Amino acid sequence: MGPEFSAGLFCAATITATILNQQHVIAAKVAEQAKNKDAREALGSFMAEGLKLIAGCSDKSAPPNWPQLNDWINRIKTFLRLTMGDSYVVRIDSPAGAAIDRECRNADATYNQLHKVVTIINFRLDQFSSEIGR
């Protein structure tokens, strides 16, 4: 076997390695995109749940459901901790930048407290969703 054969073999091996590396990079990117999509979908589901919690805010016959709110918040924090990191858990509790003057028309003060909590958390969830890569 001559030097031409060795050079050709080396070239073929290099091309194969490059192709395999590119396939690995593409597979990792596809997996990351799927993970990001799943995270955005989960955040959207949490937002929809929050909207359901405040849907009847002007119905004075149904008091705010604080246990359901607390369960919702705990599930969000668990998701954030496991999926996005502790800094997101800290940020979910911060009203910084959120419109805290939102109220539900014709609701009592107690329901408006729940409404404000849900509004701030949904604001934050929307913000987190926009931070996730596409």
pLDDT tens track for 76-94: 999 999 999 999 999 998 8
Q: Are 81 and 89 in contact (CB under 8 A)?
A: yes
Tokens of 48: 């929809």
Residue 67 maps to a domain:
yes
In the structure, what pLDDT confidence band is assigned to residue 59 with cuts at 50, 70 and 90?
confident
Residue 7 maps to a domain:
no
Residue 16 maps to a domain:
no
Query: Does the pLDDT at position 7 exceed 90?
Result: no
Residue 31 maps to a domain:
no
Query: Does the pLDDT at position 26 exceed 80?
Result: no
Residue 17 maps to a domain:
no
Q: What is the mean pLDDT of residues 16-45?
A: 80
Determine the Cα–Cα distance for residues 132 and 119; give it in Å rounded to an integer.
Answer: 20
* Number of domains present in the structure of the chain: 1
Q: What domain range includes position 87?
A: 37-131
Residue 11 maps to a domain:
no
Give pLDDT, residue 9.
59
Residue 99 maps to a domain:
yes
Residue 59 maps to a domain:
yes
